[in-house]
């Protein structure tokens, strides 16, 4: 069995609570992982003036993967926490894919009426390194009547081509359906450019059925006809919004994992739950650990530990589907630790002898 060095950044709030449970589960299916914890967080920012040290990426570069908890704390603006930790790591490590599987898990209820697991099984591929999330721009004439801000988007050919091609590859592995999120009727330069590149790459994948939908219409499609969708690819902003919407309709962000993927594998990829840090319930032992545990399963799968990843995934579905321990957000009374322990026990039992 291979051994791995994995960094954990538990972050803030319930990020700390659920990361403990994800580590517990992964240790049961893959003994021998060498864990190293980094206390980089908003609380660290309040103490030191920075989310992480200046050499943070260098410290993490030698790890096989990173498990990230939620980040956010009262008194620290969101743009400080995001641009001080998450975005610099994504860019330093070439994690240009944000991968968000969205599915309705057994034993949970969709926010959509009369929708089952067959209707809600999507994969959202979000561009993760450029697009609308750019530092180019600025605030001018602050405090004056003629004050204004400029926020520039950046769409490079290499950035668009690589994320769209990645989405086509994933669609080829699934149902062969790919929908591109655009807004070419409103964004006169960036989205027609995105659409042109999408059309060009589509010609290389004749077996994949494609659609291009304006992002507002696509948001409605996720709510009204999710069964017509399988893989969705979008720019940084569009993918961010659509993936949270899709997670919400499947039962909540507490069930949704994600991966920041470096497909070249020349630097560590980073895995995290989609939910926030929820400081109002932090430390109370009631946070749902499922999303972070499933992020751990994605981490294992990325490392090539497919048997262990499948055991964790199946353990989650069996515990939820059989009425096992569940936290209050899912209508249960279990603590975070009780839910995590049950999943860990089930995952361990599912591993080959």
- Catalytic member of 78, 199, 216, 227: 216
Q: Which two tokens stand for residue 234?
A: 């979008």
Q: Which of 12, 240, 313, 329 is catalytic?
A: 240
In the annotation, is 313 catalytic? no
The distance in angstroms from the start CA to the end CA of the chain is 13
Give the other-Cβ count within 10 Å of 199's Cβ: 13
Name the active-site residue from 24, 166, 183, 230. Answer: 183
Q: For this structure, is 175 an active site residue?
A: no
- Answer yes or no: 244 catalytic: yes
Residue 190 has phi, psi (to 5 degrees) of: -70, -45
133 labelled catalytic = yes
Enter the DSSP assignment of 131: B
* Per annotation, catalytic residue among 4, 45, 133, 166: 133
* Tokens representing residue 308 in the block: 């262990």
Residue of 229, 280, 213, 224 lying closest to 14 (CA atoms) = 280
Catalytic residue among 27, 121, 195, 244: 244
Whole-number Å distance between alpha carbons of 281 and 12: 11
Burial class (CB in 10 A: 0-12, 13-18, 19+), 140: exposed
Contacts of 204 (CB under 8 A, 6+ apart): 165, 168
Contacts of 126 (CB under 8 A, 6+ apart): 97, 98, 99, 100, 163, 233, 234, 235, 236, 238, 239, 240, 243
Are β-strands 257-261 and 231-234 bridged in parallel, bridged antiparallel, or unpaired?
unpaired
**Active-site residue, 240 included:** yes
Residue positions annotated with a catalytic role? 133, 183, 216, 240, 244
């Amino acid at each position: 069995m291979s051994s791995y060095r994995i960094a954990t950044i538990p972050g803030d709030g319930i990020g700390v609570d659920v990361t403990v449970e994800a580590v517990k589960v992964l240790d049961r299916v893959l003994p021998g992982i060498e864990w190293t914890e980094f206390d980089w967080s908003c609380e660290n920012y309040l103490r030191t003036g920075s989310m992480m040290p200046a050499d943070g990426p260098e410290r993490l570069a030698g790890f096989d993967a990173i498990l990230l908890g939620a980040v956010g704390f009262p008194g620290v603006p969101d743009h400080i926490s995001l641009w001080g930790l998450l975005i610099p790591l994504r860019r330093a490590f070439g994690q240009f894919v944000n991968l968000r599987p969205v599915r309705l898990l057994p034993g949970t209820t969709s926010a959509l009426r009369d929708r089952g697991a067959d209707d809600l099984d999507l994969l959202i591929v979000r561009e993760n390194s450029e697009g609308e999330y750019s530092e180019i721009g600025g605030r001018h004439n602050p405090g004056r009547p003629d004050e204004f801000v400029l926020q520039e988007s950046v769409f490079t050919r290499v950035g668009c081509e690589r994320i769209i091609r990645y989405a086509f590859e994933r669609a080829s592995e699934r149902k062969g359906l790919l929908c591109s999120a655009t807004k070419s009727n409103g964004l006169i330069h960036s989205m027609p450019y995105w659409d042109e590149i999408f059309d060009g790459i589509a010609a290389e994948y004749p077996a994949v059925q494609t659609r291009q939908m304006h992002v507002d219409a696509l948001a409605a499609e996720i709510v009204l006809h999710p069964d017509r969708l399988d893989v969705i690819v979008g720019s940084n902003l569009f993918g961010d919004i659509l993936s949270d919407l899709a997670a919400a309709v499947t039962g909540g962000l507490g069930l949704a994992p994600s991966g920041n993927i470096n497909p070249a594998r020349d630097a560590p990829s980073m895995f995290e739950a989609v939910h926030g840090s929820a400081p109002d319930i932090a430390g109370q032992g009631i946070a749902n650990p499922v999303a972070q545990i499933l992020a751990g399963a994605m981490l294992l799968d990325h490392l090539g530990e497919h048997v262990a990843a499948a055991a964790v995934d199946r353990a989650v579905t069996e515990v939820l589907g059989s009425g096992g321990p569940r936290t209050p957000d899912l209508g249960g009374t279990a603590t975070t630790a009780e839910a995590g322990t049950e999943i860990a026990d089930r995952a361990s039992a599912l591993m080959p002898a």
